[in-house]
Structure 1
Amino acid sequence: MTVKLYTPETMPRRGGYSQVAEVTKGKLVLIAGQVPHDVNDKLVGEGNFAAQVEQVFKNADAAVRAAGGTFANIVKINNYCVATVTPEERTAFQKVRDRYVNTAAPPVSTFIFVPRLVQPGWLFEMDAMAVIDG
């Protein structure tokens, strides 16, 4: 796998993500939107943003491992958060994310607030792209 995650000197430096993911070799793995459900399809953390973020990252980790990689292979994440989540609650996202990603060269990332997600009770969803040797 050849992936370079970086922020060019000509772009703003934002904490928690890289501005560019340059992929020159490897197997592309697209991971569907992961929601806060466990392996038995039960909602985890009803009303608890931090618990839901943790479950979503666990699910994304399980998906990339099933494809033969690790979370380190994830090069892009898109995050969807309901608008009712407060800035104080949102810090849970950063804490969980930083346990899963290489904070020195984190994946490129987008964080979007939405009025609601598909299922009532969901506070957070994330989809991802990974590049794995193959």
Structure 2
Amino acid sequence: MPTIAFHQPDTLPAVPGYTHVVEVTGGRTLYISGQVALDEQGQLIGKGDVIAQAEQVFRNIQLALQTAGATFEHVIKLTFFMTDITDLPCIRPVRDQYINTLRPPASSAVEVRRLVQEDWLLEIEAIAVCP
């Protein structure tokens, strides 16, 4: 069984919504490739709508985790790639439906000029640790 500790060091600024350091001992590590807002038929969900795309992206991450017998409780790191970083406050409520907001994963957000397809507004990758 893995041991996971979430640390918010006093030597770093207090932050809402993510954890500065997640320490893991033992367990299996899962690396979830960047997920975009494509449904199971490969169709884009939410063209021009970052919230709809975020909902599909988190659904896809959940499905990927389930494949390996994991859940969002096992996610220790999320990386957001966004074409407009000012959309981050719109995405957080969607994220908060999936993660443990009392022990949020480590997180990074990066604005990119564009993703692989022009209509994609968001891509998220995840790292999870489970037994």
* Structure 1 counterpart of 2:10, one-letter code: E
Q: Deviations over 1:16-75 (max 9, x none)?
A: 100001000100000001010011111000000000011101111111111111011000
Cα distance between partner residues in 2 of 1:48 and 1:77: 21
CA RMSD of superposed structures (Å): 1.1
Residue of structure 1 equivalent to 2:114? 116
Q: Secondary structure at the match of 1:100?
A: coil
Correspondent of 1:96 among 94, 97, 110: 94
Q: Structure 1: give runs of 5+ residues left out of the alignment.
A: none
Cα distance between partner residues in 2 of 1:119 and 1:126: 14
TM-score (norm 2): 0.95
Q: Count residues in correspondence.
A: 130
Q: Secondary structure at the match of 1:52?
A: helix
Cα distance between partner residues in 1 of 2:123 and 2:116: 10
Find out whether 1:17 has 2:36 as its counterpart.
Answer: no
Contact 1:6 1:105 (8 Å CA) reproduced: no
Q: Secondary structure at the match of 2:97?
A: helix
Identity percentage of aligned residues: 40
Residue of structure 2 equivalent to 1:46? 47
